């Protein structure tokens, strides 16, 4: 394989259905890249999902099929992308154990992604060790497949940086084995939540899901944060921090019209309901084909599991090859 050939790998934690933030952050890129790359992987990160849900295995189990459905409905194609389940590849766990020797506790605690998430979840010193170490296992997720291009949301960049440090240390200790990985952040690296929070997230309860009905979308858009001082139609409105305009900028294909609407809104004379109705139509146009395909695919859950089983088998073969190389490099190839 030529060194510059793209091997793409992405993953979702199966902790619930996926939302528009996932769509613009990484799903769109993974769909595009499956046509352009030498090899493409999509992993359902159930082991990582368990790092902060150890007490709720049913949630993880139920979400595996949901995230698979979301991705297939968006256009991920199992003929082009190897779709697999993390826990079914024991080599990832094995590689994680070896990588743990290459990373210090201080470095993990300094990782900005881990730090933010620990704060958000209120873990403090009582953080589960598996959670603290997830950047290490995420490095194994990527490197077992020798993936070199990783589409992610921008919150994941520090994790990928740490993966490259693991590559450097591994190569220094045991000889050139892994190449550096590159990230690919979507056009919208971070989508604002419907409440105006900087990040759309299930746990913040501010998400629009790829499976939402038109009624759900309408309700959420109608409740969107706009400008609290824009009370009457004739009032001058603010664009900054206004979720409806933030979304129109991202999702409305008619950029010229958005510029006009912004002008009108700022001058006064444009009501929230008008722009909200416009946004509902635009989001419905994006989500309805996904929702319909999802609905269709969900009728045959066995077929989805079969896709994952076949993909897992392929990924496992690749994992075994990598581990032969890794163990040889580490001088733990005994028999």
In the complex, the residues that contact ligand TRP under the rule CB under 6 A are 9-11, 13, 45, 48, 138, 141-142, 150, 152, 156
Q: Strand pairing partners for 130?
A: none
**127 vs 244, beta carbon nearer ligand TRP:** 127
CB 142, min distance to ligand TRP, A: 5
Mode of pairing for the β-strands spanning 149-152 and 39-44: unpaired
Contact 26, 10 (CB under 8 A): yes
d(C-alpha 87, C-alpha 43), whole Å: 10
Candidates 290, 317, 12; CA nearest to 138 is: 12
Helix, strand and coil content of the chain, in percent to the nearest 5, comes to 60, 10, 35
CB 162, min distance to ligand TRP, A: 12
Contact 74, 27 (CB under 8 A): yes
CB 278, min distance to ligand TRP, A: 31
**131 vs 247, beta carbon nearer ligand TRP:** 131
Contact 308, 68 (CB under 8 A): yes
CB 11, min distance to ligand TRP, A: 4
d(C-alpha 17, C-alpha 38), whole Å: 29
CB 25, min distance to ligand TRP, A: 8
CB 145, min distance to ligand TRP, A: 9
**163 vs 261, beta carbon nearer ligand TRP:** 163
d(C-alpha 137, C-alpha 74), whole Å: 27
CB 119, min distance to ligand TRP, A: 16
202 torsion bin: left (phi>0), alpha (psi -120 to 50), beta (else): alpha
Dihedral pair phi/psi, residue 262, rounded to 5°: -60, -45
**142 vs 207, beta carbon nearer ligand TRP:** 142
**115 vs 328, beta carbon nearer ligand TRP:** 115
Span between the terminal Cα atoms of the chain, in Å: 28
CB 86, min distance to ligand TRP, A: 7
Mode of pairing for the β-strands spanning 39-44 and 7-12: parallel
Dihedral pair phi/psi, residue 84, rounded to 5°: -145, 170
CB 156, min distance to ligand TRP, A: 6
**134 vs 265, beta carbon nearer ligand TRP:** 134
Which distant-in-sequence residues (6+ apart) come within 8 Å of 244 by Cβ? 221, 224, 226, 272, 275, 276, 279
**27 vs 248, beta carbon nearer ligand TRP:** 27
d(C-alpha 276, C-alpha 36), whole Å: 37
Q: Which residue is nearest to ligand TRP (CB)?
A: 11
**78 vs 151, beta carbon nearer ligand TRP:** 151
Dihedral pair phi/psi, residue 36, rounded to 5°: -105, -10
**113 vs 246, beta carbon nearer ligand TRP:** 113
């Amino acid at each position: 394989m030529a060194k510059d050939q793209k091997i793409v790998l992405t993953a979702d934690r199966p902790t619930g259905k996926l939302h528009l933030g996932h769509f613009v952050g990484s799903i769109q890129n993974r769909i595009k890249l499956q046509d352009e790359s030498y090899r493409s992987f999509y992993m359902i990160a159930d082991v990582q999902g368990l790092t902060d849900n150890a007490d709720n295995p049913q949630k993880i189990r139920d979400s595996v099929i949901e995230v698979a459905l979301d991705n297939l409905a968006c256009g991920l194609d199992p003929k082009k992308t190897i779709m697999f389940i993390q826990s079914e590849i024991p080599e990832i766990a094995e590689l994680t154990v070896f990588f743990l020797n290459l990373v210090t506790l201080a470095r993990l605690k300094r990782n900005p992604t881990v730090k933010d998430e620990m704060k958000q979840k209120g873990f403090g010193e009582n953080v589960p060790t598996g959670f603290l170490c997830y950047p290490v296992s995420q490095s194994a997720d990527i490197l077992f497949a020798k993936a070199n291009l990783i589409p992610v949301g921008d919150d994941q960049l520090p994790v990928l940086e740490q993966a490259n440090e693991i590559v450097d240390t591994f190569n220094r200790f045991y000889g050139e084995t892994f190449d550096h990985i590159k990230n690919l952040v979507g056009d919208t690296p971070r989508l604002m939540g419907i409440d105006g929070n900087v990040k759309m997230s299930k746990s913040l309860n501010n998400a629009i899901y790829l499976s939402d009905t038109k009624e759900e979308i309408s309700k959420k858009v109608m409740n969107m944060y706009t400008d609290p001082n824009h009370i009457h139609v004739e009032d001058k409105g603010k664009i900054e921090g206004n979720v409806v305009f933030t979304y129109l900028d991202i999702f409305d294909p008619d950029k010229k019209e958005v510029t006009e609407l912004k002008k009108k809104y700022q001058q006064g004379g444009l009501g929230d309901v008008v722009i909200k109705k416009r946004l509902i139509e635009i989001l419905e146009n994006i989500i309805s084909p996904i929702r319909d395909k999802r609905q269709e695919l969900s009728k045959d859950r066995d077929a989805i599991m079969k896709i994952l089983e076949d993909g897992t088998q392929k990924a496992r073969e690749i994992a075994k090859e990598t581990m032969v190389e890794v163990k040889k490099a580490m001088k733990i190839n005994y028999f």
